[in-house]
Amino acid sequence: MTMRFEARELKPYIETVQREQLVEGGLYFSVSYVDDEMVKPILLSLVFIGRNLEPGDQDEYYFEDLESYAAGVRYATTSEEAPATFHTGDIVKSIQLYDQALDELLRCSLRRSRAAV
């Protein structure tokens, strides 16, 4: 059975989530690239786990990889036996909702079809 994906208008730029819209425990995505042509994407699935989790933090946003979060590992309980990857800093500037990440991957697909990848 063939599935059809409805056509959609794509903005010419990457859209991201506003920081005040982040919800703890919410699933987000980050699309970045390893090349200047933006045809080799990296897609991260991340869970927003909170703000300012360490003493002295100011406007620091914390994200955990989905795999460890789904396995029950939390920031306070990570260890060698229960590892996790946490992201802070500039990653917040590239956080997207599902449809925003999908739009970026569709733009990437269009670039890839025009380039010899």
User: Would you give per-residue pLDDT tens digits along the chain (117 residues)?
Assistant: 898 888 889 999 999 999 999 999 999 999 999 999 999 999 999 999 999 999 999 999 999 999 999 999 999 999 999 899 999 999 999 999 999 999 999 999 999 999 865
Rounded Cα gap, residues 50 and 46, in angstroms = 12
For 56, half-sphere exposure in the C-beta direction (CA atoms, 13 angstrom radius) is 0
Q: Tell me the pTM.
A: 0.90
Query: Which amino acid belongs to residue 29?
Result: F
